[in-house]
Every structure is written in structure tokens, then in C-alpha cells.
């Protein structure tokens, strides 16, 4: 039996502002934005190529905005990822080169923290 992580909740204070940030600045796909009942808004956003999405919304969780655990995505080209984020106005760190990977860091408007990692040699591991 497979156990797949497919959705992570990210608490935000302003759903429209967060959706705009993730879709128009970071480049996530907007998969779903619905109000299934009064007081509930569910927005699902997915990084391109990812099997795991994030959800933001209203009435979904009582976690304070900005308190998501540090989240991480992996890319095949850290320089292109850095350039994309910077070009779109994301306050992104410089590339941090470590023995175990190359990283850039950013936060959403509420302070939820993200790392983007490139793992040298991974593409040849199939």
C-alpha cells in the first residue's frame, strides 16, 4: 500500500492576497477555489510538476497565519528558480550552496517559510 502526502495546509490571513502570491509570483497552479458551505473557503494550489498541493482558505483550521512548518520544494535548476522568483517580485535569498544541495529561501506575505532545493546529481539517479 502506498501512502502519499498530497495536501499541506498553509495558514494565511488574507486568502486572495495569498492566492495571488502563490499563483502570480511563485507560479503555482490554481486547482480549486470553492465555498462548499458558509464560512468555508477551500483553495488548492499546486507547484508545477508536484504531486503534493497546498491549501489555503477560510474556516479550515485554527492555526494562526504564518505558522506553517517550513516547507520545501525541489527543482532541477536552482538558478532558473531563483531568477523566476526574483523577476516576479518575491523577496528571495541568494543561492546558498551546501554540500547536500543548493537552496534559495523565501516567505509568503504571512511569513510562512519556504526553501527551494536543487540536489546535485539527482537527475542522473533516475
Please return the burial class of 2, using the count of CB atoms within 10 Å of its CB with bins 0-12, 13-18 and 19+: exposed
Contact status, residue 57 vs residue 11, Cβ threshold 8 Å: no
Tens-place pLDDT, residues 11-47: 999 999 999 999 999 999 999 999 999 999 999 999 9
C-alpha cell at 105: 529561501
Give the global pTM.
0.92
Domain count, the chain: 1
Tens-place pLDDT, residues 51-67: 999 999 999 999 999 99
Is beta strand 53-58 parallel, antiparallel or unpaired with respect to 7-9?
Answer: parallel
* Residue 1 forms part of a structural domain: no
* Residue 39 forms part of a structural domain: yes
Residue ranges with strand state E in 59-110? 71-75, 96-98, 101-107
Buried/exposed 71-105: b ≥16 CB within 10 Å, e otherwise: bebbbeebeebbebbeeeebebeeeeeeeebbbbb
Give 20-23's long-range contacts (Cβ < 8 A, gap of 24+).
Answer: 21/108, 21/109, 22/54, 22/56, 22/108
* Residue 77 forms part of a structural domain: yes
* Residue 2 forms part of a structural domain: no
Which residues span the domain enclosing 98?
7-125
The CATH number that applies at residue 50 is 3.10.180.10
Distance CA 68, CA 84 (A): 23
* Residue 27 forms part of a structural domain: yes
Instruction: State residue 123's pLDDT score.
Output: 62
Amino acid at each position: 500500500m502506498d501512502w502519499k502526502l498530497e495536501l499541506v495546509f498553509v495558514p494565511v490571513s488574507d486568502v486572495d492576497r495569498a492566492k495571488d502570491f502563490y499563483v502570480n509570483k511563485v507560479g503555482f497552479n490554481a486547482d480549486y477555489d470553492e465555498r462548499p458551505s458558509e464560512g468555508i473557503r477551500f483553495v488548492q494550489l499546486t507547484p508545477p510538476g508536484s504531486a503534493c498541493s497546498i491549501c489555503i482558505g477560510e474556516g479550515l483550521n485554527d492555526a494562526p497565519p504564518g505558522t506553517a512548518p517550513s516547507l520545501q520544494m525541489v527543482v532541477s535548476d536552482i538558478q532558473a528558480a531563483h531568477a523566476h522568483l526574483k523577476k516576479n517580485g518575491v523577496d528571495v535569498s541568494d543561492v546558498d550552496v551546501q554540500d547536500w544541495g543548493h537552496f534559495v529561501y523565501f516567505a509568503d506575505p504571512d511569513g510562512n517559510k519556504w526553501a527551494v532545493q536543487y540536489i546535485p546529481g539527482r537527475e542522473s539517479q533516475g
